[in-house]
Amino acid sequence: MLGLICGFVYFWGTLYWLVETMTTFGGLSWPLAVLAASLLVAYLALFPAAFAAILARTVRSLGNRGILLAPAFWVTTELGRQYVWDGFPWALLGYRQITVLPVAQVASIFGVYGLSALLALTSAAAAYAIVDRSRARWLPLAASGLVVAGVAVWGAARMSRNELASAGDPVRVAVLQGNIAQEDKWNPALRDSITDRYLSMTRAALGQGATFILWPESSTPFYFERDLLRGAAIRRLAAEAKATFLVGSDQIEPIKPVPGQPAPAETERYYNAAFLVKPDGSVGGVYRKMHLVPFGEYVPAKALLFFAGTIVEAVSDFSAGTEAVMLPVDGHVVSTAICYEVIYASLMRQFVTAGSELLTTITNDAWYGRSSAAYQHWDQAALRAIEGGRYLARAANTGISGFVDPYGRVLAKSNMFEQELLVHDLRFLKHRTIYSRIGDAVAWLSLALTAAVLLAAARVR
């Protein structure tokens, strides 16, 4: 019960902005929005509740020393948040360290789960010192303090060496923040003015020497492949400037009937996509979003959510992409994550292992309004740069747009709800971090340890 209450308070304090999103863009009344958000919060609170139950069972079996196993239990439940049901690994404990960069360097070895384990270790050591009465109760706290100090010294030294800042080939990158209001994006009367705004910003970026230019998620108020006039204008500009564009736009794919089988109920599939326009004006690759946003791009358990009918009607079902497509830029390979895909560390690692030399992410955070959600999103994206040992470029419709170096340092960052153009020199990198090689090993080891402890506790019982 304590774990459930803790989780409920934590996730309501973190995801309070869901109510505004559902009322403003989903058409729900305030009471129904609170109910819908509460259901998600209650579901997520089950994971801290599971952590508390496992820890309590362990302490009953092993005594107070069982508290020191808390890091493994906590990380196991965070891993569950990534893989159980649709997965929602938002605001994991380790992200809190992105503002403490010497400590955050641990992510280059163990990822965000390693940072979560480190924080849980210090908390568990403090709790053990409080509840235990033995003479050795201060030893775990002292040991965890030494671990943190050692990590901070090593992290500071890693940053001071700054080796990745001079490695690889340079590239001048621009991110466009058009600041288009969500209610205006698909207004037919504003289609040309929105397109002209992005084309004008692109020309300004070219004037500052940018050779790789990012447009935000779903930035085109038309289907890039189907609007021959406006799509051609973008491709023509890329060819004239000999530059590469990454353009966020929805994609429609016809569903071809299979001979000998009944005609499909739907004739088309919709994808949230990113198009890579090469310097000759051709399309060099298309990445389709693989992790779709529940209640934003599809509605899980539609039949059960009768009370949220307006959201069900408002949300068009998108199809998920199936391939981590690599995109060619100036003789190098880059990747992109669309919207909240960037919070999936395993996906971003997949990009790096596939050869990505520069991480990009495009998003439209207008849905979040003026809440803290966009700042949470930015912080989580920034940690991916440390994990992968790559520069990160982020283009967001209303913010936050910017650049992060492989050590998590912010090179440039936009303000929210302002039209901005940012240009910066980044580098293509091929260096592999330990995390990019071993992935979330610390999380899977935590799961194995948790299972072993529970099995041992059951035998003791």
How high is the mean pLDDT of the chain?
Answer: 92
Residue 209 three-state SS: coil
Are the C-beta atoms of residues 209 and 249 closer than 8 Å to each other?
no
CA distance 34 to 6: 19
In terms of domains, do 424 and 445 share one?
A: no
Q: Where residue 147 falls among pLDDT bands split at 50, 70, 90?
A: very high
In terms of domains, do 322 and 188 share one?
A: yes
Question: DSSP letters of 28-92?
Answer: --HHHHHHHHHHHHHHHHHHHHHHHHHHHHHHHHH-GGGGGGHHHHHHHHHHHHHHSTT---TT-
In terms of domains, do 234 and 142 share one?
A: no
Q: Which tokens is 342 given?
A: 């960037």
In terms of domains, do 447 and 324 share one?
A: no
With CA atoms as reference, report the closest residue to 151 among 99, 113, 104: 104
Are the C-beta atoms of residues 221 and 193 closer than 8 Å to each other?
no
Q: Where residue 299 falls among pLDDT bands split at 50, 70, 90?
A: low
Per mean pLDDT, which range of 33-37, 89-93, 457-461 is the poorest? 457-461
Predicted pLDDT at 458:
79
In terms of domains, do 318 and 382 share one?
A: yes
pLDDT in tens, 40-82: 899 999 999 999 999 999 999 999 999 999 999 999 999 999 9
Instruction: With a cut of 80, say whether residue 277 has pLDDT above it.
Output: yes
Torsions phi, psi for 93 (to 5 deg)? -55, -40
In terms of domains, do 290 and 217 share one?
A: yes
Predicted pLDDT at 97:
97
Predicted pLDDT at 311:
58
Question: What range does the domain containing 20 cover?
Answer: 2-163+439-460
Instruction: With a cut of 90, say whether residue 35 has pLDDT above it.
Output: no
- Residue tagged 């779709």 (tokens): 292
- Residue tagged 């058009």 (tokens): 178
The predicted model gives 245-250 an average pLDDT of 97
In terms of domains, do 372 and 257 share one?
A: yes
Of all residues in the chain, the percent with pLDDT exceeding 90 is: 80
Q: Where residue 295 falls among pLDDT bands split at 50, 70, 90?
A: low
Please give the single-letter amino acid code of residue 9: V
pLDDT in tens, 72-111: 999 999 999 999 987 899 999 999 999 999 999 999 999 9
Per mean pLDDT, which range of 247-261, 349-363, 390-404 is the poorest? 247-261
Q: What is the dihedral of CA 119, 102, 403, 171, to 10 degrees?
A: -130
With CA atoms as reference, report the closest residue to 418 among 458, 381, 366: 366
Question: DSSP letters of 381-446?
Answer: HHHHHHHHT--EEEEESSS--EEE-TTS-EEEEPPTTS-EEEEEEEEE-----HHHHH-SHHHHHH
Question: DSSP letters of 245-296?
Answer: EEEEEEEEEE-PPPTTSPPPS-SEEEEEEEEEE-TTSSEEEEEE-SSPPBTT
CA distance 97 to 103: 7
The residues annotated with a catalytic role in the active site are 217, 289, 339
Count of domains forming the chain: 2
CA distance 252 to 272: 9
In terms of domains, do 149 and 224 share one?
A: no
The predicted model gives 243-270 an average pLDDT of 84
In terms of domains, do 187 and 266 share one?
A: yes
Tell me which of 325 and 32 has the higher pLDDT: 325
Contacts of 411 (CB under 8 A, 6+ apart): 402, 403, 404, 405, 424, 426
Please give the single-letter amino acid code of residue 226: R
Q: Which residues of 163-173 are buried (b: 16+ CB within 10 A; e: fewer)?
A: ebeeebeebbb
- Residue tagged 């058409």 (tokens): 27
Predicted pLDDT at 409:
98
Please give the single-letter amino acid code of residue 372: S
Give the single-character DSSP code of 211.
Answer: S
Q: Which tokens is 408 given?
A: 């998590």
Q: Where residue 261 falls among pLDDT bands split at 50, 70, 90?
A: confident
In terms of domains, do 326 and 454 share one?
A: no
pTM of the full structure: 0.93
Please give the single-letter amino acid code of residue 420: E
In terms of domains, do 265 and 347 share one?
A: yes
Residue 318 three-state SS: coil
Predicted pLDDT at 457:
79
Contacts of 247 (CB under 8 A, 6+ apart): 215, 219, 220, 224, 234, 274, 275, 277
In terms of domains, do 351 and 413 share one?
A: yes
CATH number at residue 379: 3.60.110.10
